[in-house]
Amino acid sequence: MTRFDCDLAILGSGFGGTLLAIIARRLGYSVVLLERGTHPRFAIGESSTPLADFKLAAIADRFGLDWLRPFAKYGPWKAAYPHIHCGLKRGFSFFRHERDRPFAATDGNTNSLLVAASPDADHSDTHWFRADFDANLVSRAVGDGIPYLDQFEVTSVRHDDRGWELGGARADGEVNIRAGFVVDATGTGQVLAKALGLELVDPSTLRARSRAIYSHFTGVARWHDVLEAEQGPAGTAGHTFPCDAAALHQIIDHGWMWVLRFDHGITSAGFSLDPDAHPIRPDESPEMEWRRLLNSYPSLARQFAAAEPVRPFVRTGRLQRRLSRASGPDWALLPHTAGFLDAWLSPGIAQTLFAVNRLGRILAEDWRGPGRERRLTEYGRAVLRELVWVDEITGTCFACFDRFPVMTTASMIYFVAAHYCEERERAGRAGPDDAFLLADDPVYREIAARVFRQALTTPAADADRFTAAVRDELGPYNLCGLCEPRWRNMYPYLGTLPTETSR
Ligand SMILES: Cc1cc2nc3c(=O)[nH]c(=O)nc-3n(C[C@H](O)[C@H](O)[C@H](O)COP(=O)(O)OP(=O)(O)OC[C@H]3O[C@@H](n4cnc5c(N)ncnc54)[C@H](O)[C@@H]3O)c2cc1C
């Protein structure tokens, strides 16, 4: 039997758990990092955002992790870590497809939307090739002297007045771990959550409804090339940045597809589907379903005509889940363990980094002090509040998929909040505990609630009037001129230009 006695046991070595382990070790705590699988391994959840990047840079600065900072932007990442694969993300792009008809861009871009998030490639966000990224973090953790046990199966979780006792097994024998605090960073594994018997909120109260089918591919054509092949230069006229250098959202009936290109020829792609409109057919394999969906949308079929999956498809059940608690006096869940909504608008990496930063700050400032319990309670509430907020945004956008111009305006609630928080960061006015996407701002949440209620009943024909009303509602939050008709759904980078120090 191998035994460990530590301050902190972290279950799950995704980037979230591993980064927290590195921070805790750096602060002088004894940590054990436990993983069911092995690295490198495939992981989904790849598309970063400016807010995620700001938080990654803040973590690097706050905890003295200089090696981490280059990962916060595409240019520095490529210069410092060319062997850790990533992809270029200049912003978000959206295209609404009609069944059995090739995509055809309309004059006023009523079926497409581009929102740039960066002024140039160097300062851009990234798609993280998680197999490389997570494995690199784990080797950093091991290099820092953190005991890391992979292929570790938790067999028992007990709690007493001395803390936690985790029992587990590896191929080379049994393991016993005594820990003062446990963090569950296992995502869908939810080891601690299950041991504590934490309740899931009733799934019928979650607004977003989707299941997913996805893989990694070679040979995916650039969407820009498909557009120009089908429509000539008019197909991409007005694009303010290359539409493939983005989190590309291809919207279909009752669902959407993400397409994320990495620089080494691999593309991550997946459908997120309303399970009622797209029930799993018992006689259809994931690969057959994938091909059937592509074949219903000719331009998507063209984009994937030469694509080959490089790993088996993953087909999930309903993605949405949320637990009723995310922390206690000597335990905490990372957001992906506490809940999940959908990949729509890429919130997960940012939510995880916000949470890691919060826990890191509690470790640094209040771990042995009187404020610890209060701050852990606040931590748990913040994680759940942000999940509820992302559900409101995601669920409303999904409910408007049949009215694309209304959906684009509803999605501005996300983009305006994101720009607002980004500008606050650039101006040095962001507090370390500010919530993700204004989740803790009651005035903004109230505006959003009104906009979302209207979105649900606004017909596509009234979209212009709706957009004008939303622009007025957003008022001082709308720092960058979103919802302005003159952009015709093709938003260039509207933020403050980054300075050298903000790189
Ligand atoms: C379909 C889909 C698409 C997504 N797309 C995006 C996106 O584009 N952008 C974005 O920001 N977010 C996205 N996300 C969310 C993103 O995946 C998560 O936010 C992110 O992975 C969280 O990282 P993590 O390290 O906390 O957990 P995870 O990445 O879930 O890692 C959990 C780790 O725990 C390990 N583990 C599991 N069970 C056990 C156990 N019993 N014992 C020990 N270890 C265990 C796993 O092997 C894994 O290594 C997506 C999620 C899904 C499901």
Residues ≥6 apart with Cβ < 8 Å to 320: 203, 206, 208, 209, 210, 339, 340, 341, 342, 391
Number of domains comprising the chain: 3
Using one digit for the tens of pLDDT, what is the confidence trace for 446-476?
A: 999 999 999 999 999 999 999 999 999 999 9
Distance, CA of 404 to CA of 297 (rounded, Å) = 17
Whole-number Å distance, alpha carbon 82 to ligand 1 midpoint, is: 24
For residues 263-273, average pLDDT: 98
Query: Would you say residue 339 lies in a domain?
Result: yes
Answer yes or no: do 161 and 235 share one domain.
no
What are the Cα distances from residue 310, in Å, to 78, 265, 268, 335?
A: 24, 11, 10, 29
Answer yes or no: do 111 and 249 share one domain.
yes
Strands, DSSP E only, in 70-124? 86-89, 91-96, 112-116
Domain of 489? 400-502
User: Which of 349, 351, 386, 436 to probe ligand 1 with, by most ligand atoms within 8 A of CB?
Assistant: 349
Whole-number Å distance, alpha carbon 16 to ligand 1 midpoint, is: 8
Q: Supply the residue whose CA is at minimum distance from atom 30 of ligand 1.
A: 187
pLDDT > 90: percent of the chain: 96
3-class secondary structure, 120: coil
Answer yes or no: do 284 and 419 share one domain.
no
Answer yes or no: do 181 and 66 share one domain.
yes
Residue 14 CB–ligand 1 contact under 6 Å? yes
Residue 37 CB–ligand 1 contact under 6 Å? yes
**19 CA: nearest ligand 1 atom:** 25
Q: Supply the residue whose CA is at minimum distance from atom 31 of ligand 1.
A: 14
Using one digit for the tens of pLDDT, what is the confidence trace for 269-311?
A: 999 999 999 999 999 999 999 999 999 999 999 999 999 999 9
Mean residue pLDDT of the chain comes to 96
Query: Would you say residue 58 lies in a domain?
Result: yes
Please give the model's pTM, rounded to 2 decimal places. 0.98
Query: Would you say residue 218 lies in a domain?
Result: yes
pLDDT at 500: 52
Answer yes or no: do 248 and 265 share one domain.
yes
Query: Would you say residue 384 lies in a domain?
Result: no
Answer yes or no: do 333 and 261 share one domain.
no
Answer yes or no: do 42 and 161 share one domain.
yes
Answer yes or no: do 361 and 494 share one domain.
no
**270 CA: nearest ligand 1 atom:** 1
Whole-number Å distance, alpha carbon 24 to ligand 1 midpoint, is: 20
Among the listed ranges 107-121, 228-242, 291-305, 488-502, which one has the minimum average pLDDT value? 488-502
Whole-number Å distance, alpha carbon 392 to ligand 1 midpoint, is: 21
Q: What is the CATH number of the domain that holds 216?
A: 3.30.9.100
Answer yes or no: do 141 and 116 share one domain.
no
**Please, which pLDDT band fits residue 503 given cuts at 50, 70 and 90?**
very low
Answer yes or no: do 16 and 107 share one domain.
no
Answer yes or no: do 272 and 287 share one domain.
yes
Query: Would you say residue 381 lies in a domain?
Result: no
